[in-house]
Structure 1
Amino acid sequence: MSTNIPAGLIKLGSIGVLKMSEPPVNGLGFALRAAIVALLDRAVADPEIEAIVLSGGEQIFSAGADVREFGTARTSSAPTLPDVIAAIEASAKPVVAAIAGNCLGGGLELAMGCHFRLARRDASLGLPEVKLGLLPGAGGTQRLPRLIGVERALNMIVSGQPVNALAVAGTALLDEVVESDVVDAAVAFARDVVVGKRAFRRARDIAIVDPLAEPFLQFARTNVGAASSPFPAPLQCVEAVANAVGKPFDEGLRLEREIFATLMASPESRALRHIFSAERAASKLPDVPADTPLRDVRRVGVIGAGTMGGGIAMAFADAGMPVVLLETKQEALDRGVGTIRRNYEASMKKGRLTQAQLDERIARIVPTLEYAALADADLVIEAVFEEMSVKHDVFRRLDAIAKPGAILASNTSALDLNRIASFVQRPQDVIGLHFFSPANVMRLLEVVRGEKTAPDVLATCMALAKRIRKVAVVAGVCDGFIGNRMVVRYGSAAGGLLMQGASPQQIDGALQRFGLAMGPFRMADMAGLDIGWAARKRHAAEVPGSQPRVAADTLCEAGRFGQKTGAGWYRYEAGKRDPIPDPAVDAIVEQFRRESGITPRKIGEQEIVERCVYALVNEGARILEDGIAARASDIDVVYLSGYGFPRHRGGPMLYADTVGLANVVRALKRFAAEPGAEAWWQPAPLLVKLADEGRTFN
């Protein structure tokens, strides 16, 4: 908790200004709640004060609950937020909310408890609790429909999206919208209330008179229910608003609290709250101070105009940064620029871009065939073929022309970054920036820290990730880093199930019903089977005998590389991405089973999920042991943002916590004891240790 005084009270003549001061967002934790009530009581008891202005200053009102208190006793310690709001509503003196900046969640509920509200025109008002698997639990579902109408209120609550103050000007939610100096305006407004002896207007006393409310709510139940599965919160928001329409205020308030408590205890809300915290924790580097000076990155170079390089260039152009895009041949450069233009044109057709915005983005990308054009770049990212000799040539040439202090980044998905850094005379400037395809869309960015990567390079790239709207996770150097190292085990588990009797579509179907965006075989087809094939051949060359032949090798030898060739584990019709089961694949698999002496058996859906997901968890534990990831939640962020793991499960490591680590260990030991089981099925020591101690990853 902050050691600052969370709130203060000053007198401006007959007006008491109660200012919240709990940086950075005026989170309504216990200390601030208690301070508001104490100062409110003092102001009400002061005969010199005739009205009260509640403010967070000119920068922010309040972003709502202090999420650090979720799950602790302080969440329910009196005064709770409903207690604070009840005290404000019951005040014998008028209370005016002065809203600036963010007024979100509990912050908006607090403001709605005031008798009057003023907002600066650029203020942002919203109830985003649904994004944490919750609903507003301090009267938001009961007061907002009374202030702005049922339909508009429900849309705000179910979407969780904030609105600008101007969007709700003229409703009972805001008495005035001002250009600036909202606190001064609120003080003047409060004086007018006193002088004019204006009656208090409590949101709870407003009657909802809307003959179309019931049919709208029924429509909302149908649509929200269909769109929100497997999350219960959106549909519960509809029911809470329905209570505002059909029940007395106090009854609706009681039911809202009951629903809130039920949702707070749900695994879906736990998962979403975990994700919220995990994404923020991922940006914190234990050994890199938050005030580390950053390098100035204004101009970016990208080497390679293929799918990945073009997507990376778009990501920076979208963020308003000029990009030099290098290719070695004019034909490849023209093809890459053409693909970028078509991608932007597709966005324009969908209404996401205007023609002017498209032209601006294209103009920011400067194509070139000359390495010399990268001489002024502050950051250069190579996205060339995943072959060490190719990387060697690129970094050797970069070392000769890049300016001092330029950051040299590799987009490698698996290669040894320390070896790549050894190709240059400035290894401290080398870092891995592993984008995920399509790079202009996918949120995840693995920031790979080499053994000689300078702290300011790491800090700069983490800050830059936010600038280009990526979720960045720091990874250490190993084969595959975090995500791809784990996906190898995941793929091996799926391959073992395939050999033992399951079909690609059965395995994919089970994992997709579990909640994954797509199963391992569909994912392999989308990524390209040749990528894994190249990695297996590389490993076999480095460690002879380490790579037994697998069915995917035969597919690749037949030119079946996945969607891009129209055939992989499935076949695909021209211009379509729908996977179609292929008897040719069944024949290849059956041949492998015969050659391996395997008699296929019936495999259930639960076993498929356990083997594949527990393989991820086990390798995740080893990644933590090896120091490749700083925390278990970082691994969850990688799998949620880059690999389509279901958000309602919270990531593989949180899912293991939910299932119980002791149960995961028992299952892994059972798999490891099977005849011919590979050694990696043995439970990781960290996993065993945590299970034995009754602890969890998170």
Structure 2
Amino acid sequence: MQARTSPVTIARHGAVAVVSIDHPPVNALSHDVRQGLLDAVRSLDAAPDVAAIVLSGGPGRFIAGADLREMSLPPDAPYLPDVVATIEAAGKPVVAALDGPALGGGLEIALACDARLAGPKALLGLTETRLGIIPGAGGTQRLPRIVGVATAIAMICEGRIVKAPEALALGLVDAVVDGDVLAAAIARASGQTKRRIAALPLPAGDPAAEEAAERAALKGAKGVPAIAEAIRVIRTAGEGSFAEGLARERATFLRLRESAEAGALRHLFLAEREATKVPGLEGIAARPFARIAVIGAGTMGAGIAVAFADAGQSVRVVERDAQAVAAGRERIAGLYARQVKSGRLTQAAMDERLGRIAVTADWEVLREVDLALEATFEDFEVKRGIFQRFDALLPAGAILASNTSYLDLDAIAATTRRPQDVIGLHFFSPANIMKLLEVVRGKATAPDVLATGLALARKLGKQPVVAGNCDGFIGNRIYAVYRRHAEYLVEDGASPQQVDAALEAYGFAMGIFAVSDMSGLDIAFAMRQRRAATRDPGERYVAIADALCAAGRLGRKTGAGWYAYDAAGARQPDPVVDDLIAAARREAGIAPRSFTAQDIQLRLLAVMVNEGAKELAEGIALRASDIDLAFVNGYGFPRLKGGPMWAADQLGLERILAEVEAAHAAGGAGSEPAPLLRELAGKQETFAAWRRRP
């Protein structure tokens, strides 16, 4: 058997030894990297002809953090604190050459060095709280000794990443090097003396600033236990010896690492990287998309245009006539004006971004674009007309995209002579803010068109999830079942506010009925009307929402929906809705029963998971984690639960299946247990471990 090559190597530059890490893509701190660093520093520290050591991650790199896949495995020595302690305890000076990201454990290693030199593209940060943990190799103890307690709280609790110039101003690095960072580090090492951060006293702080930082961190914590723990450990950094501080930090890190919240956040972190790995796209290059057109400057089209402009992309927005053009310009400007008013954007930045957006009624501009995206009414005939114009005007090789939420993408593609160029790009409202982008693949979509959809998502800073073509794709298909069963619960005895309260207690920012009011009840009503002719007669149908729409109660925009809204927009229960619900129960012959919050949470989670299992079996979703990403980033599912499929795995699929059986009894056709759910529950397996068979 061939010996495994270490990712850590040593090169000599006179009396200076350079320890280089080469572990693509980001030099994550895997077992082999930790072992290699430990062995290298120990051997060089003992070598009489070595005067100083430089740590390098190679051009454009340093160390971007832990290997998260190993974090879910049993601990394997050497542990990172041992590596950090060995570097800091070395009798010879150690200089870090940061030519790229030094994040998490990578920054903890850099802080153990006696000096740090950074290239202009270096990024520094302790980002562990994003994963539900705290730094575990001295970050909470060394960082405040350099930047102070208040700044350390802000940086660690926000998981904030700073660029090289700010790092220099904070004292995190000793110099920013415009040229060869490694060469500069070698030169620095020759005259460097020992300077251990652990030996520095905690700087005198401003109690008011520290308290303000703590309040801000707790306000933004969103239920993440690691935030309060990070504050506690940083606050006590000056109490007792440095070793005692390290022990407090490590014990807290280990406890949090095993928490359900940390497991969920690690799952989502890895899921984000997995989502762009699509079978069949290996080596496929994206098409160019420098020239973009968006059709429609309504709420969705305006938000999409702003998303492009925010990403530095010029975009042409096409409307039907001069009046619609004027309204579209006003709508787009309004989106930016609100950001300026709130202080999130400067007037100069607004003007610059508006300059990237041209609104016109001239469809001839389509002759010069690489990608055209329609964002119009959810009406097939409207979209058919637009795609026929696309076919006539767009140059060969251009991409024809639809923002449809529910309609059949293959039917839309069939209206053109180039279905291979058609793709779904389903944005979520508000499109300039919501992170999810469903990239919908039709049966004829060319691989390079799909690759372009993923590249465009990256350009916009969106989280892409590839979806197959079906009614509602990944997210809205599940959401329709989720909403339907929420309405069953109401007709069976729960109130809308009870359902919403249960969901908010679970971790949703808003319950489903409050969300429906915010979105507008007419959207779902139109979808139900469209499905009416093909609805299975065995499917239970609740007409309460239809009655609300018939009464003109379309949600917040009309001042009433499932709730009543006052002039300030505050919602409150409405006796009119109670009467409509009571009438529906009488007509259906239902004697209302009571539900606990746990009953509601389990039922709605189970039906989401069941529909997700059907999507997996059909190939609509490539993997369970893609469904989790869709619901966390597009539908408000709590991140700390990891998404519906992950949450189901943690709860146990046998329990989920039993609840689906009860849901089927309540809902009839369309709510049948998914065969895949039955299979996995029977084998006591999980969605996370399941892979579609070739």
TM over 0.5: yes
Could you say if the C-alpha distance between residues 330 and 4 of structure 1 is closer, same or farther in structure 2, counting changes exceeding 3 Å?
Answer: farther
Mapped pair 1:125 → 2:115 = no
| Corresponding residue for residue 570 of structure 1 | 563
| Corresponding residue for residue 637 of structure 2 | 645
| Corresponding residue for residue 411 of structure 2 | 419
Once the 2 structures are TM-superposed, how far is the Cα of residue 694 of structure 1 from its aligned partner?
A: 1.6
Once the 2 structures are TM-superposed, how far is the Cα of residue 617 of structure 1 from its aligned partner?
A: 0.9
SS in 1 for 2:416: coil
Could you say if the C-alpha distance between residues 135 and 549 of structure 1 is closer, same or farther in structure 2, counting changes exceeding 3 Å?
Answer: closer
| Corresponding residue for residue 680 of structure 2 | 690
| Corresponding residue for residue 18 of structure 1 | 19
Once the 2 structures are TM-superposed, how far is the Cα of residue 14 of structure 1 from its aligned partner?
A: 1.1
Could you say if the C-alpha distance between residues 170 and 347 of structure 1 is closer, same or farther in structure 2, counting changes exceeding 3 Å?
Answer: closer
SS in 1 for 2:355: helix
Deviations 1:612-636, CA, capped at 9 Å, x for gaps: 1211111111111111000000000
SS in 1 for 2:156: helix
- 5 Å-filtered alignment, 1:58-457, equals 58-73=59-74, 76-169=75-168, 173-193=172-192, 198=193, 200-210=194-204, 212=206, 224-289=217-282, 291-457=283-449
Question: Of 560, 564, 580, which residue of structure 2 is paired with 1:588?
Answer: 580
Of 516-525 and 45-54, more deviation after overlay is shown by: 45-54
C-alpha separation between the residues in 2 aligned to 1:447 and 1:36?
42
Could you say if the C-alpha distance between residues 226 and 356 of structure 1 is closer, same or farther in structure 2, counting changes exceeding 3 Å?
Answer: closer
C-alpha separation between the residues in 2 aligned to 1:543 and 1:414?
15
Opposite residue 239 of structure 2, the aligned amino acid is: G
Could you say if the C-alpha distance between residues 236 and 543 of structure 1 is closer, same or farther in structure 2, counting changes exceeding 3 Å?
Answer: closer
Once the 2 structures are TM-superposed, how far is the Cα of residue 42 of structure 1 from its aligned partner?
A: 3.0
C-alpha separation between the residues in 2 aligned to 1:404 and 1:490?
42
- 5 Å-filtered alignment, 1:10-49, equals 10-49=11-50
- 5 Å-filtered alignment, 1:416-565, equals 416-543=408-535, 545=537, 548=541, 550-565=543-558
Could you say if the C-alpha distance between residues 121 and 478 of structure 1 is closer, same or farther in structure 2, counting changes exceeding 3 Å?
Answer: closer
TM-score by length of 1: 0.94
Opposite residue 268 of structure 2, the aligned amino acid is: I
Opposite residue 396 of structure 1, the aligned amino acid is: Q
Could you say if the C-alpha distance between residues 55 and 593 of structure 1 is closer, same or farther in structure 2, counting changes exceeding 3 Å?
Answer: same
Deviations 1:95-124, CA, capped at 9 Å, x for gaps: 111222211111111011122222234422
Once the 2 structures are TM-superposed, how far is the Cα of residue 542 of structure 1 from its aligned partner?
A: 4.0
SS in 2 for 1:408: strand
Once the 2 structures are TM-superposed, how far is the Cα of residue 577 of structure 1 from its aligned partner?
A: 3.3
| Contact 1:392-1:420 within 8 A present in 2 as well | yes
C-alpha separation between the residues in 1 aligned to 2:358 and 2:260?
48
Could you say if the C-alpha distance between residues 212 and 366 of structure 1 is closer, same or farther in structure 2, counting changes exceeding 3 Å?
Answer: closer
C-alpha separation between the residues in 2 aligned to 1:229 and 1:355?
30
Deviations 1:233-266, CA, capped at 9 Å, x for gaps: 0111111112311121111111211101110011
Could you say if the C-alpha distance between residues 226 and 391 of structure 1 is closer, same or farther in structure 2, counting changes exceeding 3 Å?
Answer: closer
SS in 2 for 1:169: helix
C-alpha separation between the residues in 1 aligned to 2:178 and 2:389?
54
Of 489-498 and 344-353, more deviation after overlay is shown by: 344-353
C-alpha separation between the residues in 2 aligned to 1:273 and 1:431?
31
Opposite residue 115 of structure 2, the aligned amino acid is: F
- 5 Å-filtered alignment, 1:586-665, equals 586-665=578-657
Opposite residue 515 of structure 1, the aligned amino acid is: G
CA root-mean-square deviation:
2.0
Once the 2 structures are TM-superposed, how far is the Cα of residue 413 of structure 1 from its aligned partner?
A: 0.4
Opposite residue 173 of structure 2, the aligned amino acid is: L
Opposite residue 607 of structure 1, the aligned amino acid is: D
| Contact 1:139-1:253 within 8 A present in 2 as well | yes
- 5 Å-filtered alignment, 1:663-678, equals 663-672=655-664, 674=665, 677-678=667-668
C-alpha separation between the residues in 2 aligned to 1:535 and 1:177?
57
C-alpha separation between the residues in 2 aligned to 1:228 and 1:312?
29
Deviations 1:571-609, CA, capped at 9 Å, x for gaps: 2234x4322222111111111111111111222211111
Once the 2 structures are TM-superposed, how far is the Cα of residue 172 of structure 1 from its aligned partner?
A: 5.7
Deviations 1:474-524, CA, capped at 9 Å, x for gaps: 110111111110011111111111111111111111111111121111111
Of 201-210 and 251-260, more deviation after overlay is shown by: 201-210
SS in 1 for 2:564: coil
SS in 2 for 1:475: strand
| Contact 1:516-1:644 within 8 A present in 2 as well | yes
Once the 2 structures are TM-superposed, how far is the Cα of residue 284 of structure 1 from its aligned partner?
A: 1.1
SS in 1 for 2:96: strand
Could you say if the C-alpha distance between residues 334 and 211 of structure 1 is closer, same or farther in structure 2, counting changes exceeding 3 Å?
Answer: closer
Q: Percent identity?
A: 48
Opposite residue 51 of structure 1, the aligned amino acid is: A
C-alpha separation between the residues in 2 aligned to 1:435 and 1:340?
16
Opposite residue 199 of structure 2, the aligned amino acid is: D
Deviations 1:105-159, CA, capped at 9 Å, x for gaps: 1111101112222223442211000100010001111111222222222221111
C-alpha separation between the residues in 2 aligned to 1:677 and 1:126?
50
Q: How many residues align?
A: 685
| Contact 1:33-1:84 within 8 A present in 2 as well | yes
Of 591-600 and 324-333, more deviation after overlay is shown by: 324-333
Once the 2 structures are TM-superposed, how far is the Cα of residue 210 of structure 1 from its aligned partner?
A: 2.4
C-alpha separation between the residues in 2 aligned to 1:434 and 1:172?
44
| Contact 1:632-1:697 within 8 A present in 2 as well | yes
| Contact 2:145-2:203 within 8 A present in 1 as well | no
Once the 2 structures are TM-superposed, how far is the Cα of residue 390 of structure 1 from its aligned partner?
A: 1.4
SS in 1 for 2:17: strand
Opposite residue 345 of structure 1, the aligned amino acid is: A
SS in 1 for 2:373: strand
Once the 2 structures are TM-superposed, how far is the Cα of residue 4 of structure 1 from its aligned partner?
A: 6.5
Of 477-486 and 172-181, more deviation after overlay is shown by: 172-181
Once the 2 structures are TM-superposed, how far is the Cα of residue 44 of structure 1 from its aligned partner?
A: 2.6
Could you say if the C-alpha distance between residues 191 and 460 of structure 1 is closer, same or farther in structure 2, counting changes exceeding 3 Å?
Answer: same
| Contact 2:21-2:56 within 8 A present in 1 as well | yes
SS in 2 for 1:606: helix
SS in 1 for 2:66: coil
Opposite residue 63 of structure 2, the aligned amino acid is: S
Opposite residue 248 of structure 1, the aligned amino acid is: S
TM-score by length of 2: 0.95
SS in 2 for 1:130: helix
| Contact 2:148-2:205 within 8 A present in 1 as well | no
| Contact 2:120-2:164 within 8 A present in 1 as well | yes
Opposite residue 40 of structure 1, the aligned amino acid is: V
C-alpha separation between the residues in 1 aligned to 2:219 and 2:595?
31
C-alpha separation between the residues in 1 aligned to 2:307 and 2:597?
39
Of 463-472 and 342-351, more deviation after overlay is shown by: 342-351
Opposite residue 569 of structure 1, the aligned amino acid is: W
Opposite residue 417 of structure 2, the aligned amino acid is: Q
Could you say if the C-alpha distance between residues 207 and 401 of structure 1 is closer, same or farther in structure 2, counting changes exceeding 3 Å?
Answer: same
Could you say if the C-alpha distance between residues 209 and 470 of structure 1 is closer, same or farther in structure 2, counting changes exceeding 3 Å?
Answer: closer
| Corresponding residue for residue 6 of structure 1 | 7
C-alpha separation between the residues in 1 aligned to 2:525 and 2:222?
37
Deviations 1:388-410, CA, capped at 9 Å, x for gaps: 11111111121111110110011
